[in-house]
Amino acid sequence: MNVQKLAVLATFHEDGPYTNLVAFVASNDLKHIFFVTPVSTRKYSYLNTSRKASMMIDNRSNSENDFKDAMAVNASGAVTEVEKTDELRKLYLAKHPYLRDFFQSPSSALMRLEVKSYIVASSFQNVVEMTVT
């Protein structure tokens, strides 16, 4: 999961779901996924209204082989804004060093998805669900 750099984040609002691409990093124990967002965005507003979110991370290549080779992981849980500690800065920037200014900007927030479950889909129809404790 830490090989992929981008994920699709789905947030929820009274008007329905809303999706965005986000650069992410997972904690070593896979219990948390971190991403950064500007505080002036719809995404940030929706996350403050409803903390529920889902994130899809996949390895598709947009080719016919994806039907047998692609794998997608869906992580669901609750999102909260967290402090930009040195430890989290190092974790995030080790994967995304080109986002240093974005991470450090006072107008950006570091968000943490506390994963409640993962659903892994592979080989087009093989699906496994895991609850995180």
Condensed to tens digits (0 to 9), the pLDDT of residues 51-93 reads 999 999 998 888 777 677 788 999 999 999 999 999 999 999 9
Q: Is the pLDDT of residue 8 over 60?
A: yes
Q: Is the pLDDT of residue 1 over 60?
A: no
Domain boundaries, the chain: 6-131
Give the angle subtended at the CA of 38 by the CAs of 76 and 21, to the nearest 5°: 45
The answer to whether the beta carbons of residues 113 and 53 sit under 8 Å apart is yes
**CATH 2.30.110.10 corresponds to the domain 6-131:** yes
Integer Cα distance of 129 and 117 in angstroms: 7
